[in-house]
Amino acid sequence: MSGRTTASAVAARAPRAMARLLVELWRIVAGAVRGVWLFGESWLLDSKKSLYGIAVTRILLGLTGIGLLLTNFSSRLYTFGSGSAWNGEAAEPVSEFPKIWLFSWFDRVRLDDTLFTVLYLVLLALAVLFTIGWRFKVVLPVYFVLWISFIEMNDAVGDQGDNMYRIVLLLLFFADPAARWSLDARRRARNGDRTILPREISTLLHNLALVALTAQVCFVYASGGLYKAGGEPWSGGYAVYAPLMTERFGTWPVLSDLVTAWGPAVTIASWGSIILQIAFPFMLLSRPTRIIALFGIMSFHIGIGVLMGLPWFSLAMIGIDFIFIRDRTWRRALELVRTSFREEPRPGDMSSTDNALDDRDDADLSGRDKSSARVLSKA
């Protein structure tokens, strides 16, 4: 009789206990969602992230453009101009870009050597202005249009680095790559940081551009690693050997023979690149693994640039990877360099400019941090 009474009492209390559990579970889930929402809102709106890293990206992308244009200057007419008419692209371009009027500037003057050279030099001057960050928001659209117009002239000499370069230039429209280490940064420190858009909108667009850049880089590395893993040369561990033995990519035969002389090293390099590329997105989640990932992927690109003779592709990819280095790391490195050389920054140099901008950002953030703290405390 007592057993039946106990069972009936438990059955009577079960719905109420389940309701309490569901309410508590809902509170936990809602609190977690709210915390993630507040963190994301704070990360996107409080301040612009990776200003130093994306400034390095701007500089290295600009140097990539300068280097490619200078190294091809002597052969510009044969590779891209009137001397390349034999490949048929003057009559019918392979790429779709020259068929779009906005990106057809170089295609229009392809057969006129004088106009082609003038436009080539204009593009080179724009690459210099892009690198030093002079009136960046004005220079970037013009550089973007002329660069695509130029690089899509001869499909046979292009590579996948051209696609990544174009995507990054497009995303830089929404970011602020000239906020550090640029002539624009000097002008802002002198005249104040005035923007057309409200500061919150400008900050949001900058950080969303970083998110898009991160997603693009992770997709490129992970998809490339998965594609390699499905190929016999890579899974067999000898993929690094084959291209270094060809005339096209074996730029330094003696160095290629030295690198590939020991079989296990070739296998380690082949399998290691697959593992690194697939694991790269996950290694970004913590600082220790992020350091390993960046060191490994930059070494990977340096190897491609030196051994396979693709310096501009490698330089562009290394420049993009710098967005993953935090501003506090750059500040510590700069402070270490200044301390080592024992030089006091002069009022007009880049270091004092960066310090002034950092102080202004810290002042802006102090008020926002207090308001964020109040919101989180209420949460």
Predicted confidence at residue 339, as pLDDT, reads 87
Alpha-carbon gap, residue 80 to 153, rounded angstroms: 6
Contact 280, 221 (CB under 8 A): yes
Predicted confidence at residue 349, as pLDDT, reads 52
Name the nearest CA neighbour of 353 among 199, 158, 193. Answer: 193
* pTM for this model (two decimals): 0.84
Whether the CA torsion 147, 148, 153, 157 is positive or negative: it is: positive
Tell me whether residue 64 is in a domain: no
Tell me whether residue 41 is in a domain: no
Q: What is the DSSP string of 146-188?
A: HHHHHHTS-GGG--HHHHHHHHHHHHHTSS-TTSSSSHHHHHH
| Domain extent at residue 250 | 216-325
Name the nearest CA neighbour of 181 among 373, 353, 6. Answer: 353
Tell me whether residue 311 is in a domain: yes
Tell me whether residue 198 is in a domain: no
Contact 376, 38 (CB under 8 A): yes
Q: How buried is residue 126: exposed, middle or buried, by Cβ count under 10 Å (0-12/13-18/19+)?
A: buried
Phi/psi for 105 (5° steps) reads: -60, -50
Interaxial angle between packed helices 160-172 and 136-151, expressed in degrees from 0 to 180 and rounded to the nearest 10? 160
Tell me whether residue 130 is in a domain: no
Tell me whether residue 313 is in a domain: yes
Alpha-carbon gap, residue 115 to 185, rounded angstroms: 34
Tokens of 334: 């700069």
Structural domain total, the chain: 1
pLDDT tens, position by position, for the chain (379 residues)? Answer: 555 666 666 666 777 778 888 888 888 998 888 888 888 888 898 899 999 999 999 999 999 999 999 999 999 999 999 988 888 888 888 889 999 999 999 999 999 999 999 999 999 999 999 999 999 999 999 999 999 999 999 888 887 788 999 999 999 999 999 999 999 999 988 887 677 788 889 999 999 999 999 999 999 999 999 999 888 888 888 898 988 888 888 888 888 889 888 989 999 999 999 999 999 999 999 999 999 999 999 999 999 999 998 999 999 999 999 999 999 999 999 999 888 886 555 555 555 555 555 655 655 544 544 444 443 344 4
Q: Phi-psi category of 325—alpha, beta or left, where left has phi over 0 and alpha has psi -120 to 50? A: beta
Tell me whether residue 147 is in a domain: no
Tell me whether residue 55 is in a domain: no
Phi/psi for 173 (5° steps) reads: -60, -30
SS3 121: helix
Size (the chain), residues: 379
> What DSSP state is assigned to residue 345?
P
